[in-house]
Amino acid sequence: MRLANTTWPKVENYFNENDMVIFAVGSIESHGRHMPLGTDTLIPDRILELIEEKNNIMIAPTIPFGACQSLSDFPGTIDIGLDLLYDLLTAVMNELYKHGARKFLILNGHGGNIKTIDRVALDFEKKGAMVVELNWWLMAWDLNPAWKGGHGGGEETAGVMGVDPSLVDMSEIEGPLVLKDISENLKATGFTSISYKGVTINIPRSTTNVTDNGWIGDDHPTTATEAWGKEMLQTTADYIVDFIEEFKKVELKSTK
Q: Residues 35-64: pLDDT tens digits?
A: 999 999 999 999 999 999 999 999 999 999
CATH number attached to the domain at 3-167+224-247:
3.40.50.10310
Percent of the chain whose predicted confidence (pLDDT) is above 70: 99
pLDDT on residue 255: 56
Residue 216, phi then psi, degrees to nearest 5: -140, 130
Cβ burial, residue 218 (10 Å; 0-12/13-18/19+): exposed
Distance CA 89, CA 129 (A): 14
Q: What is the pLDDT of residue 99?
A: 97
Per-residue pLDDT band at 218 (split at 50, 70, 90): confident
Residue 32, SS3 per DSSP: coil
> pLDDT of 66-91, one tens digit each?
999 999 999 999 999 999 999 999 99
Rounded Cα gap, residues 105 and 85, in angstroms = 16
What tens digit of pLDDT does each residue of 115-141 get? 999 999 999 999 999 999 999 999 999
pLDDT surpassing 70 at residue 142: yes
Angle at 135 between CA 192 and CA 175, to 5 degrees: 50
**Residue 213, pLDDT score:** 86
SS3 content of the chain, % helix, strand, coil (to 5): 45, 15, 40
With contact defined as beta carbons under 8 Å apart, do 223 and 150 qualify?
no
Any alpha helices (H) in 72-225, and if so which ranges?
81-99, 114-125, 136-143, 154-163
Q: How far apart are the first and last CA of the chain?
A: 31
88-117 pLDDT, tens digit per residue, is 999 999 999 999 999 999 999 999 999 999
Q: Is the pLDDT of residue 174 over 90?
A: no
Biggest CA-to-CA distance, the chain: 65
What local confidence, expressed as pLDDT, does residue 40 receive?
97
Alpha carbons 31 and 215: distance in angstroms, whole number: 5
For residue 214, what pLDDT is reported?
A: 86
